[in-house]
Amino acid sequence: MIDKKIIQKCIKGKIFDDSSERNRKMLHITLTRKSDLVVVCPATANLIAKFSNGYADDLASTSLIASNKQILFMPAMNVEMWNNKINKKNVTNLQKSGVEFIGPDYGYLSCGEIGLGRLSGDNKILQIILNYLKRSKKLQKKKCLVTAGPTLEPIDAVRYISNYSSGKQGFEIAKQLMLVGANVTLISGPTNLQPPPKIKFIEVLTAKEMNEAVRKNLKTDVAVFTAAVSDVSPKKTMTNKIKKEKLKKIILKKNPDILRNISLNSSIKPEFVVGFAAETNNYINNAKKKLITKDCNLIVVNKISKKNNVFGSEFNQVAIVDRNEVNKFGRMTKINVAKILVNKIINNFEK
């Protein structure tokens, strides 16, 4: 192990080790909250395994578990260690959780062997870190509104109309917007998800409540409407349970079209509006139609099928449609879908 005093001579800033937390309770929380980015360099097979499996038994691993920032791993190890199936499984698990890996590179290794496992070069690592730090402020001072989850429309005291939306995609978009410096408001129907940190979170139940919450929080630069809002609701809601023999007909009424009502009103429309669509047939044509009729900047569309059953899943397969082109993407994590969308939003403000 390198002596702490030697490292201190080489860098500017503070150095912490396991002993540091003895006199500073919750140091692992403080360090991650005060940082803009978390970089693990070099990332050993041991630390990758610990983080992948939720171990937190020292300052480094505890800080990783506690982090609410983007995490970068710079792996360095023997080629066989890197290619080991267990290590590969751990790497994949972390990537699914949003951790990004830089390297390893191919070349001479410290053990004397040659192969994939070499730490990426200093200049490459430095440039990537600088790029991420710049990205963490790309939407600074921008206000962003995100809707997520389903809405529930009560029929009586025990029944309701709803859909399969889990809210995962919307919550991840809110998180990624927060990570690039935006001031985020997340309005969500009922889910089992923990809202991302450092955002304003508003929970609603019905389409009517979501419509009201959106209108109250519309002083925003960007609006991303991922929520699966119920199209209809019972015209009359019973306070008692309707007996099944009397449950013969439910009279429905249309719910407000939140996206359309906001986008077509120039006095309240945000600068950049993203709509979401879930389609089973003619999904690109339907997305193009929705883009025009609801005057959005982008439509993100899912083609719902047995191969792409996105509800409740950590994965999604989408196409992003704008006025000029259609970008189709393969199956990826909802985290990566969110990152792609956020990059498109950033590009809009950098034109």
**Which residues, 6 or more positions from 77, have their beta carbon under 8 angstroms from its beta carbon?**
44, 45, 87, 104, 117
Q: How many CB atoms lie within 10 A of CB 333?
A: 18
Q: Say how far apart CA 76 and CA 89 lie, in whole Å.
A: 16
End-to-end Cα separation, the chain, in angstroms: 48
Q: Which of 41, 111, 144, 296 is catalytic?
A: 111
Beta bridge partners, 148, equal 188
Identify which of 167, 157, 158, 166 has the alpha carbon closest to the alpha carbon of residue 187: 167
CA atoms within 13 A on the CB side of 209: 14
Q: What is the largest CA-CA distance in the chain?
A: 81
CB of 43 within 8 A of CB of 74?
yes
Question: Which amino acid is present at 339?
Answer: K
Residues near 317 by beta carbon (within 8 Å), at least 6 away in sequence: 302, 303, 307, 308, 310, 329, 330, 331, 332
* E strands present in 245-329: 252-254, 272-279, 298-303, 315-316, 318-321, 326-328
The answer to whether 295 touches 270, Cβ cutoff 8 Å, is no
- Cα distances (Å, whole numbers) of residue 347 to 138, 177, 310, 344: 10, 13, 27, 5
What are 267's two structure tokens? Answer: 């006095």
Reduce the DSSP state of residue 264 to 3 states and report it: coil
DSSP for 211-260 reads HHHHHHT---SEEEE--B--SEEESS--SSPPPGGG-S---EEEPP-HHH
Active site residue 41: no
What positions carry a catalytic annotation? 111
